[in-house]
Structures are given as C-alpha cells and as structure tokens.
Structure 1
Amino acid sequence: MTQTKIPFLFMRGGTSRGPYFNRADLPQDRETLAQVLIAAVGSGHALNIDGIGGGNAVTTKVAMLSQSQDDWADIDYFFAQVSVEDKQVDFKPTCGNILSGVGPAAIEMGLMPATGATTTIKILAVNTGARVIATVQTGPDGVAYVGATAIDGVPGTAAPVQLQFMDTVGGATGAFLPTGNLRDTFNGIEVTCMDVAMPMVIARADAFGLTGYETAAELNENRDFFAAMEAVRIQAGEAMGITDVASSVTPKFGLLAPARDGGTVAARYFMPWTAHPTMAVTGAQCLASCVLTPESVASGLAHLPNENPAKITLEHASGLIDVLVDYEINAGGIVLKSAGLVRTARLLACGDVMVPREIWSAQNENSYTG
C-alpha cells in the first residue's frame, strides 16, 4: 500500500504529549490538514490503535511550527486538538503544556539556533495571538533535557522550561469578561466567564454538589455531573460569543473549592468532555486570574498573597501547579500584565509518521511504498 510519510518529532510537553511537525511538511488547506492529523493520531478508536495517539485528550494534541513573519516572534506555534474517538479536529484553542515543547522542538528542527547555556525563544501562539517567551536549557549538543525540575503529573525530573505568557487576555473572544459580567447564572449555576489564555466557564464545585477534591476518575464516572456541566457550558459559551460550542472544546470548564493541601485554591479542569488528569497551562492562568479578580465566583475561597507578582498555587487532581501573575487592580477591575510558569519537556522519538496516500499524496518525495 502506498502511503505518505511526514517527518515529525514525538514529544512530551508538560503533562501532554503528541507529534510536533514543521508546518511546511503538512498540507496548507485546513480540511486536508484535519484529515491528515486524524489519520496520524488514529482518531476514531478509543485506543487510537491505528495511529500514534494515546487514547486520552492529553495525548492527541498536535503542534505545528514555522519561522514567524511577525516582527516580535521567532516561531509561530499552530495548535490542533484532535479528538480521541469522533474524528474531529479543533483549531480554535491553544495548549500551554504542548507549548512547553515548542522551544525545544524549534531547535531540534533547525528553525532556531541554540545560543548557549540557555536559549530564549519568542513564540506566537497563532490560534489565540498570545505571545510567549520560552527559556530553554541548551548546550553544545543542542537541547538539554536532563535536569532536577519536577512537575506533578510527570514521573521523574527534567530540565526546566520557563514560560512567560503575555497578551493572553481576550485572545478568543476579545474581552477579559466576554459576557460583560463578573458573574452569570445558567441553569441555576452561578459562573464566571473569563478569557485569559483560554476562554473558560468557572464555577464553584459545591454548586454541582461536588467537593472539588474528587479524582479525575471519580469525576469521569459521574455522568450526571457531566450532563449538567455541558448544558451550562453550551449556554455560557454562546453568551461569550463562541460559535458551535457543542462541537468545540472551547470554552473549557473549571471548578474551584477551598484549598486543603497548602495551595491557594483547589481546582479541577475539564477538556471539556473528560476531566484533565492534571492541569492545563492555559487553564491554570485563567483560573489564577479568576481567583485574583474581586467579586468573581472565586471570591472568598482563598487567602490571596499580598505580593505582586502573586504566586497562585492550584491544587489539581495530580498535585500542584504554580502560576506567577503580574497584575494590578484599578477602578476598571483587574489588569493582567503577564503570567509565568515552569514546565519540562522531553523528546521521546523522531522519524516519519505515515498516512494513507488517498488522504494526502503530498505530490512530493514524501510518498512511501510499503
């Protein structure tokens, strides 16, 4: 059978994993691109048995990189969320965990040179317009992956990747509070609709009769909760100006509860049709911003730090994640300047992924007969 081979890197970025491609090696039109990514990941089967996905939404993510034409950025990062089972691709959101691997991948692909003990890469997240500065550990042999930094949700330690997020407000909807309100009520559930790094609908866990300390597995088994949450998410998403909410992963959903393990607040994040096993980097920024915003649904849940930038520690389903938020509060509300996080990444494999030629022939030397 004749197939088309596409060069790729297989990387863990933060607590997510997936293929990283050079955008030039993929079809340019979105419809064909979506079909290529579905075939590569193996969407359409719970185990992604006919592709390289891992049977979970955190392992069916795709990063596509190119040298940027933007005056500020070095690298353009185009993200795709491929569904596990229903053969859909969502190009609306971005992913901060996968972004953790963008700097290392850009160097590995030769899109960016290593410059010394550390290499600073300016990344434009083209899905949302966010600007991110990534600092990657490098050396004479290129990217350094070995280090002493641990992140909850990933075994062992690795070299740190420092991320500084800017221009994260209103990337998807154009507004910090897309509905214009600090609080809205849908189906009797009070929520805050917020767009910081990722558009989200945020509620208190007890509004759904939950503690907020449930494991991801316990939440995934609670289908009554998911049905109630999805009804609220769809109504809230439409109020936020987001189209096709029922078939899109945006807005995401988050739950908050008082901290119990030394953090600032307990949080659970949804992708949205399953519970995230840890915490999304983008979602962490939005949830931290909600915690800092007076009169949001988070008000009264946490003892806030007095310093600025403020470290907000979210207790998620697998541990903790720290978000360092540089902000100010004025008469108009909260003004976010930037958010910083530390993640890790690792190159797991590299080579060519095969897709059936009837999906994309590439019309170039990438065809492979086997």
Structure 2
Amino acid sequence: MAGDPVLDGVPCMLIRGGTSKGAFFLAEDLPDDPRERDALLLRIMGTPDPRQVDGIGGAHPLTSKAAIVSRSEMAGIDVDYLFLQLGVDEAVVGTTQTCGNLLAGVGPFAVERGLVDAEASTTSLRIRMLNTDDVATATFATPDGRVDYDGDVGIDGVPGTAGRIDLDVGSGPERSLLPTGNVTDTIDGHEATLVSNGMPVVLLRASEFGVTGEETPEDLESRPELVEALEGIRRQAGPLMGLGDVTGQTVPKMFLLSAPRAGGAISTRAFIPHRVHAAIGVLMAASVAAGIRLPGAVGSELALLPDDGPDLIEHPSGVFPARVSVTRDDEGTWRATSTSIRTARKIFDGRVFPRPRL
C-alpha cells in the first residue's frame, strides 16, 4: 500500500452485488497486515456507529461489506476473492464466511481493474473464494471488451433490472455437505440440520419457535426471547460444524423454515445472525436448497420440490431461484454444487477517505 490513506485516499469501487452492497479493493491497495487492513476498513465504513454516518457503510450488515480481489497464483484460477463482513455498531470484522451476493461483482471488478482481459462479447473467469476455499465460475456480458451492467434480469430485493451474471459454485471433493456427518442433530431440544453448501447454515422448524413464516424482519428482530434462543443454538452449532467459537462471528446463519406460501419450495426467515435478512444470500439459498433435498432433513417434510427447474426459496421480499445438484458417494457422503443467476452494478469508482482513527 502506497501513500497516506487519510490524506491521499484509497482506490475503491462501490458495487451492488446481488442484494448486498460492498466496497471493492485491490489487495495491493490495502495494508498487508490483517490488523492494519481491518482497522482501515472499519474507518472507511464508519464503524462503530449504528448510522455509519462518518463512512460509506449503509447502517446495515448487508451494506457494510468489503471484497478484496487479486490475481491468483493457483493454476486454473483467475482471481482470488476475500470477503470481509464489517460490523455496524461494533468494531468487528468477520472473515469466516464468504458472500455469494458480492461474488456477483467480483468478475466485473476484475475486468474493470485489468486483472482479467475481457472477451469480445461474454467473459467467463474462475474465482477462488479464500474464506472457504470454494471455486466459482462467473460469466457476464462484455460487449466491445467492457462490462455491460444493463439488462433485463430482475432479482427480488433489488429494484429494476440489470445485466445477467451466471455463477456456478462447487466445493472441493474432500468437503461434505453435512459438516457433522448427520442429517439431523439435536441442540437445546430442537432438531436441526447443519448444512454447508458454500455458506454454513442451521435449518430449524419455524413452528417450534412460535414463528409462522409470514413475519417481517422487523417483527422477528423485536422478539428478544427468539433472538436469544437462536443465538444459543448458533453458538453450540459453530463447534459442531468445525467453525470453533462463533461468538464474535457471523456464521453459521440461522434459518427458520416453514411451508411455502407463494408457490415456492420452502419459506425462510434468516438470522444473519442477529439481524434478519430482508431477502436471502446466494450461498445461503444454495445451502437451504441442498438441505431440504436430503431425506429426513429439517424442512424436507415441508418442502414442495419441483421435478425440474430451480427450487424457489421464499424470503421476506420475494423468491430466490436456487439450482442445486445433490449427490451421495459410495461412502455415503453427501455433496452438492449450485448454479444461480445474479446481477451487479458499479455505483462509483474513485478514492475513499477514511476517518483518521476509530
């Protein structure tokens, strides 16, 4: 990193990826030391402050995110992508999860910054997600060698339409869909399915918590007993999923499942973990869709699965079409891959000036 970030600013591109928004950086434009890097990003976002009034954060976890991108040294991979979840009212930085929504912006950003040469009409590139070591292929329009953000694809949770971005995500052959090896586990007296298909999630029956599945995020967030109960389960699920102590982390995500109401496969309300998602993340949807396809899993008895086409995962602002393939190998291990359609849009490109200190 060159120069004084307070005086000279830091090159930054703000991108809406899927139903999230984040600040995108080249790795070379940030400090090498993770502690210095995290402190700088918190100052850029305006954290800690529930309004993030002195930074570019949007006063919500879905808009307090950062993506760090660099050329990859791994064979067959074009770029590496590190996702950071920045706290809003707390000065915390999460690195254990990735973000499938911001993943939609990684390919366009790589082309914009010259990390990858654009093709004449459509560009495909391979992305290694450093947080989870999963690999994604992103395909998007680049007419005349430039990213075209315009298009007629609409996704629930985002106004208007934009250009189509295809994302294919697969985990390594050594990784199981079920981190505990069990289709269900019991935590605090509740049957739970612990799944990781790009995002660690815990699937629970909404009815066991007095939730119908029709509640708004604001309604659910206003129930302290519910939030406390789910947090207790989340902290116990973390070590079971190989995540260690998750007290200060944002994974696993907690899902309350109920029968679908809008013609979809399942209805969801996602705690991420303390706020309730207004929609659903790409990899969250992929994990839920894979989970409900497992015989005996929580939610499988509620799901209406199509014979063909995507599983429509219902969420507070609409539905998310998740295409997953679930298989079981000769040793009985469940694995999955996912395909999704997202959009992204460049909002600004320039230099961001962090406040001088936290």
Q: TM (normalized to structure 2)?
A: 0.94
One-letter amino acid of the counterpart of residue 354, structure 1: F
* Structure 2 Cα separation of the partners of residues 275 and 300 of structure 1: 24
**How far does residue 328 in structure 1 lie from its aligned partner after superposition?**
2.8
1:97 is the counterpart of 2:101: yes
- 2:87–2:93 contact (8 Å) kept in structure 1: yes
Distance 2:51 2:289 in 1: 33
Greater Cα shift, 50-59 or 237-246: 237-246
Structure 1 position 166, deviation (Å)? 1.1
- For residues 141 and 299 of structure 1, what CA distance do their matches in structure 2 show? 45
Q: CA deviation at 1:282?
A: 1.1
- Per-residue deviation at 1:358? 6.4
* Match in the other structure for 2:186: 185
Please tell me whether residue 277 in structure 1 is matched to residue 278 in structure 2. Answer: yes
Letter in 2 for 1:20: F
State which drifts further: 263-272 or 323-332. 323-332
Amino acid in the other structure paired with 1:342: I
Indicate conservation of the 8 Å contact 2:60/2:88, yes or no: yes
**Residue 58 in 1 paired to residue 57 in 2?**
no
Q: Is the 8 A contact 2:15 2:24 kept in 1?
A: yes
The answer as to 2:72 corresponding to 1:68 is: yes
Q: Deviations over 1:319-357 (max 9, x none)?
A: 010111123346655743521000000000011111256
Whether the 8 Å CA contact 2:16–2:347 is kept in 1: the answer is: yes
Letter in 2 for 1:189: H
Pairing 1:300–2:301 present: yes
2:203 maps to which residue?
202
Amino acid corresponding to residue 3 of structure 1 in structure 2: L
Correspondence for 1:366: none
Equivalent-residue separation in structure 2 for 1:335 and 1:178 (angstroms):
10
In structure 1, distance between residues paired with 2:8 and 2:119: 35
Moved more, 247-256 or 342-351: 247-256
C-alpha deviation, 1:304, in angstroms: 2.3
Does residue 267 in structure 1 map to residue 271 in structure 2?
A: no
Deviation at 1:141, TM superposition (A): 5.7
- Residues 4 and 355 in structure 1, CA contact (< 8 A), matched pair in contact too: no
Verify the 8 A CA contact 1:199 1:250 in the aligned structure 2.
yes
Correspondent of 1:87 among 88, 91, 95: 91
The separation in 1 between residues aligned to 2:307 and 2:124, in whole angstroms, is 30
Structure 2 counterpart SS, 1:131: strand
**CA displacement, residues 5-61 of structure 1 (integer Å, 9 cap, x when unaligned):** 110101100000011000110001111111011001111101111110000000001
Partner deviation per Cα, 1:119-158 (whole Å, 9 max, x = no partner)? 1011110110111000011112611011100000000000
**C-alpha root-mean-square deviation of aligned residues, in Å?**
1.8
1:4 positional shift: 4.4
More strand by share: 1
Task: Say how many residue pairs are matched.
Answer: 354
Aligned to 2:234: 233
Secondary structure of 1:101's partner?
helix
Q: TM-score, length-normalised on structure 1?
A: 0.91
Cα distance in 2, alignment partners of residues 210 and 333 from structure 1: 34
Partner residue, 1:324: 323
Distance of aligned partners of 1:197 and 1:276 in 2 relative to their CA distance in 1, 3 Å threshold: same
Question: Which of 135, 155, 176 matches 1:151?
Answer: 155
Deviation at 1:175, TM superposition (A): 3.7
Displacement of 1:299 in angstroms is: 2.2
Q: Distance in 1 between matches of 2:56 and 2:38?
A: 15
137 and 167 in structure 1: CA distance in 2 versus 1, 3 angstrom threshold:
same
Unmatched segments (≥5 aa) in structure 2: none
1:169 and 1:268, CA in 2 relative to 1: closer, same or farther beyond 3 A?
farther
